[in-house]
Structure 1
Amino acid sequence: MDNLIRGVIYVERGFKAFAQSDGNIINGYFEEATKTSVLPHKKIAILSGVGWIGKNNLFITKEYGCALCIGTVLTNAPLPIENSQIIIPKCAGCTVCKDICPANVIHGTTWEPGMNRDLIVDVYHCECCLKCLVHCPWTQKYMESNIKL
């Protein structure tokens, strides 16, 4: 909440802010043919050093697995900057996402910086069933320790 309040104060002081929300991305900032945006949330999240790209092409963190939603706000406000290391994927020999995918669009490739997304997943034929998200061992670990059924 403190960051939200700080963000409002920055805008009131004349700094610009642009939320990369669905509405803003759809209105000119998302290329439907290639299914890409100008500055993807995952790119920013990777550079933040809090997670990695999994074999399912989703952003994964140790704490939440794939069970998170990323939002990005671009601003010219003077915010503190931290240099973070890019986290190397922690998927190792795991192929759960590849094995569970009903559309067989996950190739089982381990992500590396600069890698083309198409080497990881065929986004054009993905059914968006989210089985890869739910069955990811990192997501399962989060669910087991935080969700009481």
Structure 2
Amino acid sequence: MLKIFMDTKLKLVCERIDDMLGYPENIIYGFADLSDDKYLHPSYPYLGKCVVIGVSLSKSSVSDLLNGISQEYIDECYRANAELDVLAAQVQDILEDGGYRAKALLSSTSDYDPITYRTDFSHKRAATKAGLGWIGMSGLLVTKKIGSALRLNTVLTDAPLSTDNEPVRVSECGDCVACMKHCPSNSIKGVLWDRSLDRDDLIDVKSCYNECVDAASKVDF
């Protein structure tokens, strides 16, 4: 009887999450198992499952990036980040209402290691475990529904979430090298991602960071 109750409770939680995230065209989401220590958030090792949410950026904001960063693009990133943080907080509330522990992370943070340029948690890596996409040569998440023009956030939880989506383990970029051709800092190494590789195998992070700092100085960031 207890198992039936628990299954029903979890089913209702999942239905509420799907009602909120499953229909808007600009949103993707998935559940992932983070029990591998490589993926767990160091501050929340007891939260081994997660909900990963992606919100697309407008086509107009990214269409002109070949000519350099624009204020429209920066403003659109802030808009998507704000939407993601609201959605993540709502998912946290749903999980907690169901009796589970949950922690909504932030879509963007300035809290990173100044030497390695790493944060405590990778939304992109969690997204591959949720089956949402793969890591492109550029180090960006690439999804079939939205492409790579999106922002991400994650809600950690101890709810026993399950999914039919298989984790993505290898790149689907194939022979495409468009990102390499257009990278203004030539930071992309041309390596096809798989789950065994680290970010630094794909890109020269310091070169990329310096280019981003220079670009940000030209707009109201």
TM surpasses 0.5: yes
Q: Are the equivalent residues in 1 in contact too, given 2:104–2:155 (CA < 8 A)?
A: yes
Look at both structures and tell me which one has the larger radius of gyration over its CA atoms: 2
Once the two structures are superposed, residues 102-134 of structure 1 have per-residue CA deviations (whole angstroms, 9 ceiling, x without a partner) of 1110111101112121121112111236xxxxx
Structure 1 residue 43: Cα displacement: 1.3
Whole-angstrom distance in 1 between the partners of 2:131 and 2:169? 6
More strand by share: 2
- Percent identity between the aligned chains? 31
**TM-score (ref. length: structure 2):** 0.49
**Mind listing any 5+ residue stretches in structure 2 that lack a counterpart?**
1-14, 21-89, 216-221
Structure 1 residue 16: Cα displacement: 2.7
Q: Are the equivalent residues in 2 in contact too, given 1:50–1:87 (CA < 8 A)?
A: no
The one of 70, 95, 102 equivalent to 1:17 is 102
Counterpart of 1:120, as a letter, is: L
Residue in 2 that maps onto 1:80: 161
Residue in 2 that maps onto 1:63: 145
The one of 76, 79, 93 equivalent to 2:175 is 93
RMSD: 2.5
Query: Match of 1:102, SS?
Result: coil
**TM-score (ref. length: structure 1):** 0.70
Whole-angstrom distance in 2 between the partners of 1:64 and 1:9? 26
Q: 1:16 to 1:85 in 2, by over 3 A?
A: closer
Structure 1 residue 22: Cα displacement: 5.0
Q: 1:101 to 1:6 in 2, by over 3 A?
A: closer
Whole-angstrom distance in 2 between the partners of 1:22 and 1:61? 17
Alignment of 1:35-46 (within 5 A): 35-46=117-128
**Mind listing any 5+ residue stretches in structure 1 that lack a counterpart?**
130-149
Aligned positions, number:
125
Whole-angstrom distance in 2 between the partners of 1:10 and 1:54? 31
